[in-house]
Structure 1
Amino acid sequence: MEKKIEKRWIAAFIITAATAVTGLFWEHTSVTQSENFNGTDTIVPADVAWLLTASCLVLLMTPGLSFFYGGMVGRKNVISTMLKSFICLGVISLLWVAVGFSLSFGEPIGITINGVKYGLIGNPADFAFFDYVDEHPHAKMASTIPFILFALFQMKFAVITPAIITGSLAERIRFISFLLFICLFSLFIYAPLCHMVWHPNGLLGAYFGIKDFAGGTVVHMSAGFAAIAGVLCLGKRKNLEYIPTNIPFVLLGTGMLWFGWFGFNAGSALAANHTAAMAFATTTIASASAMLTWAFFDRLNGRKVSALGCCIGAVVGLVAITPAAGFVSVPKSIFFGFAAAIVSNIMVHWKSLKRIDDTLDVFACHGVGGIMGMILTAIFAEGENASLLHGGWGVFVHHMAALVLVAVFSFFGAMLLYKFTNIFIPLRVSEEAEQQGLDLSQHNEMLG
């Protein structure tokens, strides 16, 4: 067994080395050979400054998530849980440069409707190793900032999405298996959804009019349904009774997530403008509403108000407002947080969901929060024919159809990827390793 494990790590190292060597000899193509780019004179310095800041804020969310999750698990699994989030900064960043950005924002590969091609996924060769990606703005994607900045901002979203999944698989998944799965997830689930929703010619966004301001569908629903698929593939932990190790870690992680979410949502305006300001406001108010609602709803159900509950509620509010952050007013954002907190709270304590052992309730919080955000966006988004309340019956129907499509695609797609991963590398650690704790058995480290 040791020999097989060693070969897997050798393979992982060879892939990393091959990527590095390819990057060394890759010849960058000048954007002057493409008509899709503007000159640097169209750059707006204020937009550049804001997007640089927003990119830093979104990057901070991944370490924040590691603290958020790490404080919730048992003492023997804190380091392994935190590392699974943190390692995404390395794995997905390189994958994004090599091919992920191309799959997400390359020229559409899909279907032609009325003479217009609507994409299911991007051409993997378009921006491979950031070819054409430099200081020149793209004419159709963020035309006031360098294309390299747009690519890096979007990279942070790609990084945190598989990191969200880790909470459901904590305390029992093999580390090398997790690395393979997140690569497959990023390429075959995240990238197509990102392209279909956010590319100017994406099928869901451009043709069906699906509104997802900052990732309720692309990020949270995809991660939530992939999480529940992983739980079903892995099975329950041997020891379901555990006490969260470090609640202050959870509080710290929540603060980092809330702070970083301003970049996540307000940054998605892709400019320093009124939409960014409104998204900034709705983000924090929805989270505040959800935090209080969660705490009071717990008390109404005979549970004590807890720091853990307040933190989870705040994050649920952030998740729910994400698809609508730039589309609704501040008063409506209060309702977003209120409604999502109640539904997610009910789901967290639903016995049927508890039985399958989603370790840190990823589906109940991120999956359900994303679903609630999408539904409420389809009802309340402002603008003529923009939502159900503003005459957009067709838009509402399209959103509900897309909700089902994304759920089915993410769940069954992830299920196939877990099965595929398990063929080459067993997903689950041995019973002995699980009993010992993943910190020691997987990483030879432990809390002092």
Structure 2
Amino acid sequence: MDQGNTAFILIAAALVLLMTPGLAFFYGGLVKAKSVISMMMMSFGAMGLIGVLWVLYGYAIAFPATEEGTTQFPWAIDFNELGLSGVLETPEGAAYPPLAFVAFQATFAIITVALVSGAIADRAKFGSWMVFAFLWSTIVYFPVASWVFNFGLADDASFSYGGWITHGMQEVFGVGAIDFAGGTAVHINAGAAALALALVLGKRVGFQKGAHVPHNPPFVLLGAGLLWFGWFGFNAGSELAADGTAALAFVNTIAAPAAALLAWLIVEKIKDGKPTSVGAASGAVAGLVAITPACASLTPFWAIVLGLVAGAVCALAIELKFKLGFDDSLDVVGIHLVGGLIGTLYLGIFANGTGLIYSGELTQLLVQAIAAFAVLIYSFVLAYVIGFAIEKTMGFRVKNEDEVAGIDTVVHGEEGYVLTDSRG
């Protein structure tokens, strides 16, 4: 067992876990002051719930052990792994303990579920959100993680093999879809679910352009900084080894979001006359989203180009909700769904070795598109069904008067900012 790589994976897992509190600050700063507790609690609720579900059965669904060369599609569960009972021992010859990988992937599951919450800010019941998170993670995220990340973890066949998006399509087309750290499984998956929930819950009271402004831009910048910091674990850690590929992913995780930040600010300056701090934070996140699937398959130059494209396009894409009439409160669709699609499809042209500019063939673009839209459709349809069922039974949205007043005191009995002590 390589203790260096084991330490690398565990440190990367800790970095990725930090991303969810970072997301809580990012989202929390974007909502109104009387909803900040509600918004941040949805991220922390996801940490608690998904952390438990992952240990109980999430890992068993996402990474069922199979014989080498077989493909899991579309859904399977390994009953020997329930409660992680089947992965407690480290097989002889393994590069790292299975539990290190379990921990790393747990943090991916947590952040993916938390991302969805941004679409329903200011108007969702916490209990209903937790029910949705339970059902969506079980039915959607855990299987999709298997499609993408179940790629084989050891040379001795002690672990899992064969997600259909990577392994399965390689058998059919000669190349599998490239998704190094989760452009499909995390960002497209969460973005599609966010769109579905935005449609189910409907628009906020008074929804129109300029009606809802971030109450705390410093929170947004703090959250973006924590996300960027944690993203090095997200991307470089996905190599599962401290090697040259991890170093390339690390550099690209600097280059792409840096370029995206600049591109977003340029678009803001041209469109609105002023570059904003929230725009800088959003641009960085858009670049991070786009580079996620591509971080190990692009040269740094093409990573910069990807960042410029993602920053500019996502800055424009967030306006779609006003033109199309859906209220994605914190632009999960415009940043994560659109950014995830850009990064995933971009690989079809610029991926080292197999992209169009290197191979002269469109096969890689084809498999990237199949992967992206399969996950998008699967997640959107099931998220809509789950959200609709919750809304019609226990109710998903708070009353309009509670939304206007701010839902922190109604839902949680707390205020984000207590400026006077009523006891005195």
Could you tell me the TM-score, scaled by structure 1's length?
0.85
Shift of 1:350: 3.0
Residue of structure 1 aligned with 2:102, choices 141, 144, 151: 151
Shift of 1:191: 1.1
Q: Structure 1 residues 66 and 102 mapped into 2: Cα distance closer, same or farther (>3 Å)?
A: same
Q: Structure 1 residues 106 and 98 mapped into 2: Cα distance closer, same or farther (>3 Å)?
A: same
Equivalent position SS for 1:312: helix
1:297: which partner in 2?
Answer: 267
How many residues in Structure 1 have an aligned counterpart in Structure 2?
397
2:132: which partner in 1?
Answer: 181
1:347 matched to 2:317: yes
Q: CA offsets, 1:169-226, max 9 Å, x none?
A: 0011111000000111111111111111111311111011111000110000000010
* Aligned-partner Cα distance in 2 for 1:138–1:187: 32
Shift of 1:100: 0.5
Q: CA offsets, 1:306-361, max 9 Å, x none?
A: 00000000000000000011111111110110011111111112364563111011
Larger RCO (CA under 8 A, 6+ residues apart): 2
* Aligned-partner Cα distance in 2 for 1:57–1:204: 26
1:377 matched to 2:347: yes
User: Is 2:321–2:328's contact at 8 Å kept on the other side of the alignment?
Assistant: no
Equivalent position SS for 2:86: coil
1:207 matched to 2:164: no
1:281: which partner in 2?
Answer: 251
2:154: which partner in 1?
Answer: none
1:389 matched to 2:347: no
2:23: which partner in 1?
Answer: 65
**One-letter amino acid matched to 2:190:** A
2:159: which partner in 1?
Answer: none
Residue of structure 2 aligned with 1:415, choices 381, 384, 400: 384
Q: Structure 1 residues 353 and 86 mapped into 2: Cα distance closer, same or farther (>3 Å)?
A: farther
Shift of 1:422: 2.5
1:121: which partner in 2?
Answer: 75
1:36: which partner in 2?
Answer: none
1:427: which partner in 2?
Answer: 396
* Aligned-partner Cα distance in 2 for 1:137–1:198: 20
2:62: which partner in 1?
Answer: 104
Could you tell me the TM-score, scaled by structure 2's length?
0.90
User: Is 2:321–2:327's contact at 8 Å kept on the other side of the alignment?
Assistant: no
User: Is 2:29–2:220's contact at 8 Å kept on the other side of the alignment?
Assistant: yes
1:86 matched to 2:44: yes
* Aligned-partner Cα distance in 2 for 1:187–1:173: 21
Q: CA offsets, 1:246-296, max 9 Å, x none?
A: 111011001100000000000000011111111000011101000011101
Residue of structure 1 aligned with 2:53, choices 91, 95, 104: 95
* Aligned-partner Cα distance in 1 for 2:88–2:70: 28
Shift of 1:127: 1.0
Residue of structure 1 aligned with 2:203, choices 205, 214, 236: 236
Shift of 1:48: 1.0
1:323 matched to 2:293: yes
User: Is 2:31–2:215's contact at 8 Å kept on the other side of the alignment?
Assistant: yes
User: Is 1:266–1:279's contact at 8 Å kept on the other side of the alignment?
Assistant: yes
Q: Structure 1 residues 165 and 353 mapped into 2: Cα distance closer, same or farther (>3 Å)?
A: farther
Equivalent position SS for 1:120: coil
1:266: which partner in 2?
Answer: 236
User: Structure 1 stretches (4+) deviating beyond 6 angstroms?
Assistant: none
Q: CA offsets, 1:129-177, max 9 Å, x none?
A: 01122251597xxx41110010000000000001001111001111100
1:133 matched to 2:82: no
User: Is 2:348–2:363's contact at 8 Å kept on the other side of the alignment?
Assistant: no
**One-letter amino acid matched to 1:160:** I
User: Is 1:44–1:144's contact at 8 Å kept on the other side of the alignment?
Assistant: yes
Shift of 1:108: 5.8
* Aligned-partner Cα distance in 1 for 2:91–2:284: 36
User: Is 1:379–1:387's contact at 8 Å kept on the other side of the alignment?
Assistant: yes
User: Is 2:290–2:339's contact at 8 Å kept on the other side of the alignment?
Assistant: yes
Q: Which moved more, 1:422-431 or 1:52-61?
A: 422-431
Aligned-pair identity in percent equals 40
* Aligned-partner Cα distance in 2 for 1:69–1:137: 41
Q: Structure 1 residues 166 and 283 mapped into 2: Cα distance closer, same or farther (>3 Å)?
A: same
User: Is 2:348–2:362's contact at 8 Å kept on the other side of the alignment?
Assistant: no
* Aligned-partner Cα distance in 1 for 2:71–2:213: 53
User: Is 1:108–1:121's contact at 8 Å kept on the other side of the alignment?
Assistant: no
Residue of structure 2 aligned with 1:398, choices 347, 354, 367: 367
* Aligned-partner Cα distance in 1 for 2:274–2:376: 33
**One-letter amino acid matched to 1:378:** G
**One-letter amino acid matched to 2:128:** S
Shift of 1:239: 3.2
User: Is 1:177–1:425's contact at 8 Å kept on the other side of the alignment?
Assistant: yes
User: Is 2:43–2:117's contact at 8 Å kept on the other side of the alignment?
Assistant: yes
Residue of structure 1 aligned with 2:220, choices 232, 250, 268: 250
1:224 matched to 2:224: no
Equivalent position SS for 2:106: helix
* Aligned-partner Cα distance in 1 for 2:262–2:33: 29
Equivalent position SS for 2:293: helix
Unaligned runs of 5+ in 1: 1-42, 110-114
* Aligned-partner Cα distance in 1 for 2:85–2:245: 31
